[in-house]
Amino acid sequence: MVGKTVLITGATSGIGRATAAGLAMMGAQLAITGRDRRRTEDTARDIRAAGGGKVNVFVADLSSQSEVLRLAEEVLQGLSRIDVLINNVGGYWNTRHATVDGLEHTFALNHLAPFLLTNLLSDRLKQSAPARVVTVSSNAQAAGTIDFDDLQGERSYSGAKSYSQSKLANVMFTYELARRLQGTSVTANALHPGMVSTSFGNGDPGAIQRLIVPFMRPFMKSPDRGAATSIHLASAPDLGQVTGRFFANSRPRKSSKSSYDEAAAARLWRASADLAGLPAAN
């Protein structure tokens, strides 16, 4: 990864931080995002102290579309190239929360943020080609359905349902993005990192986080092991032309049947573009 510039969202803890540290040790020049400036700068300093090279710091709350727009502008000003974009940021909320834009928080952060950011950076990725877009999804996608009549969970909300929908959306977005990027030498792949022991979901935990996860922690992956597939998709030479795939344990896997519905993926793209204020043809 020497000479490669990698932008990683949500890189101040858990899988994102481990991904950043791992790629830095491989020689990548990093750009990391976080919501809190001090935590983000501390992460950058720790990576440098461990032997990593240059680390650019960007601060933004990606649940806010205005902050995604500002982040993209700052990234385009600060980075002359982007060889790899890793859409890592995500979260889980058991109760329904609205963002500053009036959007359901899980859908806004987990799906609309990477959708919008990737679109805003697409020209820079194409200019940097060969380049890669890596999006962290989850095996929860297998339980997901896209409820086009209630994408925001206004009629009926469940934390698990909303999370699964957002992770399926990650995969469908990836497949549609790969189709739209054909001929550009920019690839797009999604992944399941595995069951990883992090603070994920602690802010508003559901029954699984409260009752089951504590007993599962001894058997869950460390963040370093959880980051392995993200690092593999970002760096493996033999994946330079592999696109539109879903990976787990660094190997291609089948995603849910519904994730391959091209008509639904195109509809999701149009709906997402509308919610993000982008032309649907972008």
Q: What is the pLDDT of residues 241-259, one digit of tens each?
A: 999 999 999 999 999 999 9
Give the per-residue pLDDT at 88.
96
Would you please indicate which residues are annotated as catalytic (active-site) residues?
Answer: 163
Contact yes or no for 4/134 (Cβ under 8 A) = no
Segments forming the whole domain that contains residue 12: 5-276
Query: Is 282 contained in some domain?
Result: no
Q: The tokens of 279 are what? A: 């032309």
Residues 6+ apart with CB under 8 A from 141: 164, 167, 168, 170, 171, 192, 255, 256, 259
Query: Is 223 contained in some domain?
Result: yes
Of 130, 147, 135, the C-alpha closest to 176 is 135
Domain with residue 92: its CATH number is 3.40.50.720
Question: CA-CA-CA-CA torsion for 191, 186, 116, 47, nearest 10 degrees?
Answer: 60
Which residue type does 128 have?
Answer: S
Query: Is 64 contained in some domain?
Result: yes
Give the per-residue pLDDT at 279.
84
Least confident of 10-14, 116-120, 201-205: 201-205
Least confident of 31-35, 94-98, 192-196, 234-238: 192-196
Q: The tokens of 191 are what? A: 């992944």
Give the residue-averaged pLDDT of 198-203: 50
Q: The tokens of 126 are what? A: 């194409």
Query: Is 281 contained in some domain?
Result: no
How many distinct structural domains can be found in the chain? 1
Rg (CA), the chain: 17
Q: What is the pLDDT of residues 127-145, one digit of tens each?
A: 999 999 999 999 999 999 9
Is the pLDDT confidence value at 126 over 80?
Answer: yes
Instruction: Give me the chain's average pLDDT, please.
Output: 91
Prior bond of 130 cis (ω within 30°): yes
Residues 6+ apart with CB under 8 A from 202: 209
Distance CA 180, CA 191 (A): 19
Distance CA 257, CA 260 (A): 6
Distance CA 12, CA 18 (A): 9
Q: What is the pLDDT of residues 2-57, one digit of tens each?
A: 999 999 999 999 999 999 999 999 999 999 999 999 999 999 999 999 988 889 99
* pLDDT band with cut points at 50, 70 and 90 for residue 282: low
Query: Is 82 contained in some domain?
Result: yes
Is the pLDDT confidence value at 62 over 90?
Answer: yes
Contact yes or no for 167/259 (Cβ under 8 A) = no
Residues 6+ apart with CB under 8 A from 143: 160, 164
Query: Is 15 contained in some domain?
Result: yes
Query: Is 70 contained in some domain?
Result: yes
Of 261, 91, 72, the C-alpha closest to 171 is 261
Give the per-residue pLDDT at 260.
98
Concatenated DSSP letters for 129-149? -SEEEEEE--GGGGG----TT
